Amino acid sequence: MIRLGLMRHGHTAWNRDGRIQGRTDIPLDDDARADLSALRLPDGWDSADIVASPLARATETARLVTGRTPTDIPALIEMDWGTWEGAHGTALSAAPESGFKPIEAWGWHYRPPGGESPDEVRARLLPWARSLTQDTVAICHIGIMRVLLAHATGWHFDGPAPFRIKRNRLFVLRIAHDGWAFDGVERLQGAPSCA
C-alpha cells in the first residue's frame, strides 16, 4: 500500500480575483510565497517522494514547503478549462449561453467548451498513480485533487462533494492493489488553525 498526499498550490493573483486558471502558468503572489515559506510537511512525510505539476505555481509551492526540488509530472497539470480559462466563474454562471455548470452538476463526462472532462483527467492520472512505488507528496491543482479524491471516495460529480479542498493541508489517499481509500486530511506544520 502506498500513501499519496495531495496538496494544492498557493494563491496566485488569478485565484484571488476569481479567475479560472487552468493551464495558464500564473505564478504565486508575494503573500503566498511569504505564507508558504513558514510551512512544512506534517510529520511522517520526510522520506516521501516530492512531485509537482509542471506549472510554476505548483513547483514553487513544493520548493517553499519541502525545501526540495520536485520531480515534474506532466499528468498532474491542471485540467484544461478550454474557452473558460481566464474568465471569471461568476460571469460565466450569470451568462446562460456560456453553458457553465457548477462542478457538482458535471458528472464524469461533462466538458467545458474546448476543455477536458473529469473522466479524461482521470484517464491520465490513474496510470501515474498506479505506478507509484513509495509514499509520495504531489503538489498540484484543485481540479486534479477533485478527480483523485472523487475516484477514491466514489463521488461522481453529482451533488455536494464528500470533501472540501482547502489549502495548507495534505489530503491523504491510500492506494493498494485491491482499491483506493481516502485516509483523511493532515494540516501542514506552521499552518494557522483557521487556514
pLDDT tens digits for range 97-155: 999 999 999 999 999 999 999 999 999 999 999 999 999 999 999 999 999 999 999 99
Confidence of residue 191 (pLDDT cuts 50, 70, 90): confident
Report the chain's C-alpha Rg in angstroms. 16
pLDDT at 71: 98
- The phi and psi torsions of 21 (rounded to 5 degrees) equal -90, -45
pLDDT at 122: 98
- 77, 101, 147, 66 alpha-carbon torsion, rounded to 10°: 50
Using N-to-C axis directions, what is the helix angle for 118-130 and 142-153, rounded to 10°?
A: 80
What are the grid coordinates assigned to 123, written together? 484517464
pLDDT tens digits for range 20-75: 999 999 999 999 999 999 999 999 999 999 999 999 999 999 999 999 999 999 99
Contact (CB, 8 A) for 175 and 130: yes
Confidence of residue 192 (pLDDT cuts 50, 70, 90): confident
Determine the number of helices (DSSP H) and then strands (DSSP E) in the chain. Answer: 6, 6
Confidence of residue 194 (pLDDT cuts 50, 70, 90): low
Q: Would you say residue 82 has pLDDT above 90? A: yes
* 8-state DSSP, 168: S
List C-alpha distances in Å: 86 to 17, 20, 59, 133, 159: 10, 5, 21, 36, 25
